[in-house]
Structure 1
Amino acid sequence: METTDDLNAVPITLYKWAGAWGPFKVKIPCGECTLTLDIIKDTMESELTDVPVKLEVREWLSEWWKPLLVGGWHAPIVIVDGKVVNQGNALNRGVLTEAVINAYVKRTSIKGNKLFGKVTCPHCTKAKQRLSESNIDFTYHDVVKEPLSLYEMLARVKPIVGPKTPITVPQIWLEGNYVGGANELSSHLENG
């Protein structure tokens, strides 16, 4: 697990039950804070391995007012890109993954040709076949097996189609531009 200084890196800050303030000092470590740090590190090494993040671990009691400014008051406090995503209990890795991806897609755009789909989807199979027949190289992302792909697809498609529109698969980008689903792909390929 590495953090990066990449300009697109998503900041993750963990405030754990530790530190001192005036005469007060934390003497007993917080088990859920330790679990949360372990979950963050493991998620960075697995689900978020291709996403640049910058992790900072802080002592809550030494800086209690900083997380309070964004709504965090009960350690462990996890802040992603300035927003509290978890506090008071061990972190759910899916919540972390979704929050990091939502922040990351705001900083970056899709490059190349991508198809987000699932194995059991006949429209996804049709779209993959059409792309292959057209000699278009693409990267396939399985949204069922890869949480990163699911959250990226949703975070990129919702702003385009609207927050209340149900999202189906496939979702396709060609040369970094949003195409849509299998029917839109067919029209796009036929009309050049």
Structure 2
Amino acid sequence: MRFFTTTRSRRATTGVLALATGAVLALGLSACAPAGGADPELKSGDLQTSIVEWRQAMDDCMLKAGFDLAQTSADGSPSDSIDTSQWDMNEFDKAYASCTAEVGEAPVDDSLPSEDELFESQLVFAKCMREFGYDYPDPVKGSGGMGQAFGPETNGDDVDTCTEKANQPVGSK
């Protein structure tokens, strides 16, 4: 299997990573606002079931637009990755926006932290890492929360301590 062999495949991979990050954030941060008169109430009363139903509707919409997000492996099991090398990512973005307008935003667990609370937590984590002597930058608001990768020189205990500190309720820091 070849990874990142061309600029085009890098762009496609970057696009998919951005989409995946966006999807995760949509699931965790967006408000439940279905379009087209869809019923915002959970049919089953279960958030997990509602997310599965939303994902199926989104996958179906994207498939109609020519993008199979539910690809399977040779044995028929769900694939761990999606081959985007043959996709025009500009067209993909248009289809995703159209499907989001049609299907609606992903259902959200209201008990999850807000985007502002997550950003505050990331700031606390970055400051803590700097206090341990690492050259760790502050996050950029709106960047999706993707932080830098840790190398072998990073002490896992330091990361754990800073993670614990960043996850404390806002008023207790």
**Structure showing the higher strand proportion among its residues:** 1
| TM-score tier (shorter) | under 0.3
Q: Quick one: higher RCO (CA 8 Å, sep 6+), 1 or 2?
A: 2
Q: Taking structure 1 as the reference length, what is the TM-score of the superposition? A: 0.25
Structure 2 length normalisation: TM-score? Answer: 0.26
